[in-house]
Amino acid sequence: MTRLYEGKAIENIVNKVASLIIDDNENLEELVLIAIMNGGNDLAVRLAGRIKSERGLELPVGYLDITVYRDDIFSGKLITVDPSDIQFSIDEKVVVLVDDVIKSGRSVRAALDGLNGFGRPKAVRLAVLIDRGGRELPIEADYVGKKIHATKNSLVTVELKEKYQDSWIEVA
């Protein structure tokens, strides 16, 4: 395993993504953050915290389980579904889907399908910490912390801990 980023570098990457979101949206009041579970959970909370500290606005944060919307779940397999937690309307809101890593684009496609059950957003954007390449679908992130080149079979792991100094991103 190779450690790519840790500590302060990860904090800077998260801050970059938050700044990109702020700079791209004139009306932050219409934004909501929805984490693609589970990789996007901690990142969405961090982004909301950074936006609050910079602009004084607390954005709603929701969590979307995409398990049943995936196209790579085979019938006959036992799957576990965590309940999605979106306690606010997404109608006419700009939804920022949040995930830690984007690779094939299949998770994002599943998340788009999953959002349909919660309303009709004005727009949907995608924020990721790491874009590792390897797309199988024509999906690109709007807000990217870092782009890396990883081989098809490599695994990129993001570990966001409570304190940035204990956080890391590795590729294996």
The CB density around residue 8, as the number of other CB atoms within 10 Å, is 11
**Model pLDDT, residue 70:** 79
Q: Would you say residue 158 lies in a domain?
A: no
Determine the pLDDT at residue 74.
Answer: 61
- 148 closest CA partner among 124, 125, 128, 165: 128
Any domain includes 164: no
Query: How many Å is the Cα radius of gyration of the chain?
Result: 16
Query: Is residue 153 one of the residues assigned to a domain?
Result: no
Q: Looking at residue 76, what is its pLDDT?
A: 60
DSSP collapsed to 3 states, the chain: CEEEEECHHHHHHHHHHHHHHHHHCCCHHHEEEEEECCCCHHHHHHHHHHHHHHHCCCCCEEEECCHHHCCCCCCCCCCCCCCCECCCCCCCCEEEEEEEEECCCHHHHHHHHHHHHHCCCCEEEEEEEEECCCCCCCCCCCEEEEECCCCCCCCEEEECCCCHHHCEEEEC
- CATH code where residue 134 lies: 3.40.50.2020
Q: What pTM was estimated for this model as a whole?
A: 0.93
Give residue 81's domain range.
8-148
Note whether residue 154 is domain-resident.
Answer: no
pLDDT at 139: 97
Calpha distance 80→120 (Å, rounded): 27
Query: For residue 163, is it within any domain?
Result: no
Mean pLDDT for back-to-back runs of 10 residues, the chain (172 residues)? 94 98 97 97 97 97 92 65 92 98 96 95 98 96 96 94 93 94
pLDDT at position 81 is 73
Quick check: is 137 in a domain? yes
Distances (CA, A) of 23 to 99, 101, 109, 132, 150: 19, 22, 25, 24, 29
Domain count of the fold of the chain: 1
Residue 66: inside a domain, yes or no?
Answer: yes
96 domain-assigned: yes
